[in-house]
Structure 1
């Protein structure tokens, strides 16, 4: 029987989607690719395939899950299976360098960034960047990996040469311009099937100084996947009633050009109102409390899209 196949390595992030698929009575199967095989001599099963592979898989002891997923996606695409977030989406998920070059190619401004391999090269890159304040982050990231804020080269040197330095899984450290926002928040735009669903304002007042660019990904406190949240006067996540149409159009064009169907794209404004886009998350999650207040549900929209794609495929096969 044809079904929806969900490719991932973290069931905690996937259960919200499978609940929606069950609600819509969509047959599905999970492929948890922390390990496995790919038989290139056989054809894949019929169905719809959706990849939720994460750049931070190695932090859950799934070091080679992205590499295995890359092999699986190549196999599926060779056999012309319908894949949501295929090989190119995975490439961008695993490299901020690729994200930034693709965003710039689409006319979307990103923070000034230098990629470096080697501790001496990290220090040299910071000197070349020439910013009074700057951040470091990992190229293959997620979860705020390697994110540190510095106000001097001396501070960076102490970190790089000290015991707390975090070695990136791919060896690439990014040295990036620090964007000072006039208000402590960033904006995350959610897209399903390449189309805008909603934007969410993320309050970064707690830990904002650490890194405005990755504030909603630093540890569980800032992770949008959280189902429960401490009630405060100002919710950390608020779905917005309006966002500039020009921003949405640019992001949708970028997603189409890069064959990405599902994503959360984050940006920040500086004091002059300039927009800097700094993250494309193809393994996007949604905040349940914010969605309940707004009456908009990302995983439900995604489940509907997958259901329609499955039904469409079955219709074609029956002809």
Structure 2
């Protein structure tokens, strides 16, 4: 019998989806790809394959999980299997450069960005931001990896020469104009089956590591898990959010065969929207969802069940 295969490298970010699949009584298999092998002379099993590989896998000791996943996805696609967030989605997941180029192609404004490899080139690239605030980030990132704010090139020079400099896993450092919001928040738009589901307001007043998952690495100091405070919640669903950029996002996702994603933007004081991240391994915050009554992983599970039904086999209910 065909079933749903969930491809990933992090059990903590996947358990909520598996629970939803169980609730819906859908047949599934947890396919952990932190390591492994594939025999290219064999055919894959029948079913629906949902790729949840993360660009930040190397921070959990799974340095080559995306490369292995790329091989597995190529194998699945070669045999005509139904893959949700396939090879092209993975390409964008591990490269912000590709993300920005695709967003710009469909009329989505992104911050001015320069990609550089090597200390001297990083410092030379910073000349383009002389007299302005700018940030650095990793090309292959996730969870706000490598995001640092600078007010001057001299401050950047101290950083790249110092002990705290983070070498990107692919070697590519991005320098990007700093978009200052009148309020310290960004917006993350969630999509399931390529369609807008809801938007979340994320408080950035305490930093850039904006992982919305209920289980984050111990060094994600700004993850909201377990926090109890009288302050407004870090993650809040923006009820009734609507904006013309959403249709552009949907076109970007459709063009790149991305069915499940979270896309993040920031708004400046003049109301201009700058989009800076596409997450094809999207997570959801349970506190924010409970307050709004919208549940991302439930919608993903329903979507996967519908895709399984299209294979023509009965699905348990």
TM-score (norm 1): 0.93
How far apart are the structure 2 equivalents of 1:199 and 1:229? 22
Question: SS of 2:14's equivalent?
Answer: helix
Note the alpha carbon deviations across 1:6-61, whole angstroms, 9 max, x for none.
00000000000000000000111111111111111111000000000000101111
Distance 1:215 1:6, change over 3 A: closer
- Structure 2 residue aligned with 1:231: 229
Does the 8 A contact of 2:8 with 2:33 survive in 1?
A: yes
How far apart are the structure 2 equivalents of 1:180 and 1:34? 37
Gaps of 5+ in 2: none
Does the 8 A contact of 1:86 with 1:259 survive in 2?
A: yes
Does the 8 A contact of 1:201 with 1:238 survive in 2?
A: yes
Note the alpha carbon deviations across 1:183-227, whole angstroms, 9 max, x for none.
1111000001101110011112223xxx5xx6557953444xx65
How far apart are the structure 1 equivalents of 2:127 and 2:239? 42
- Structure 2 residue aligned with 1:3: 3
Alignment of 1:206-221 (within 5 A): 206-207=206-207, 211=208, 215=210, 220-221=220-221
Question: SS of 2:108's equivalent?
Answer: coil
CA RMSD of aligned residues (A): 1.6
Note the alpha carbon deviations across 1:86-118, whole angstroms, 9 max, x for none.
000000000000000010001100000000000
- Structure 2 residue aligned with 1:244: 242
Distance 1:221 1:165, change over 3 A: closer
- Structure 1 residue aligned with 2:22: 22
How far apart are the structure 1 equivalents of 2:6 and 2:131? 43
- Structure 2 residue aligned with 1:117: 117
* Alpha-carbon offset, residue 243 of structure 1: 2.0
Does the 8 A contact of 2:3 with 2:308 survive in 1?
A: yes
Does the 8 A contact of 1:129 with 1:177 survive in 2?
A: yes
Note the alpha carbon deviations across 1:232-282, whole angstroms, 9 max, x for none.
331111111122341211111110011100000000001111000000001
How far apart are the structure 2 equivalents of 1:279 and 1:136? 14
Does the 8 A contact of 2:266 with 2:274 survive in 1?
A: yes
Q: 2:293 aligns with which of 286, 292, 295?
A: 295
How many residues in Structure 1 have an aligned counterpart in Structure 2? 309
- Structure 1 residue aligned with 2:256: 258
- Structure 1 residue aligned with 2:98: 98
Note the alpha carbon deviations across 1:109-132, whole angstroms, 9 max, x for none.
000000000001000000123351
Does the 8 A contact of 2:210 with 2:222 survive in 1?
A: yes
Alignment of 1:119-158 (within 5 A): 119-130=119-130, 132-158=132-158
Distance 1:216 1:271, change over 3 A: farther
How far apart are the structure 1 equivalents of 2:178 and 2:67? 32
Does the 8 A contact of 2:114 with 2:125 survive in 1?
A: yes
How far apart are the structure 1 equivalents of 2:231 and 2:296? 24
- Structure 1 residue aligned with 2:311: 313
Does the 8 A contact of 2:6 with 2:50 survive in 1?
A: yes
Runs of at least 4 residues of structure 1 off by over 6 A?
Answer: none
How far apart are the structure 2 equivalents of 1:166 and 1:179? 22
How far apart are the structure 2 equivalents of 1:164 and 1:47? 45
- Structure 1 residue aligned with 2:172: 172
How far apart are the structure 2 equivalents of 1:58 and 1:216? 16
Q: 2:271 aligns with which of 267, 270, 273?
A: 273
- Structure 2 residue aligned with 1:283: 281
Question: SS of 2:39's equivalent?
Answer: coil
How far apart are the structure 2 equivalents of 1:174 and 1:63? 20
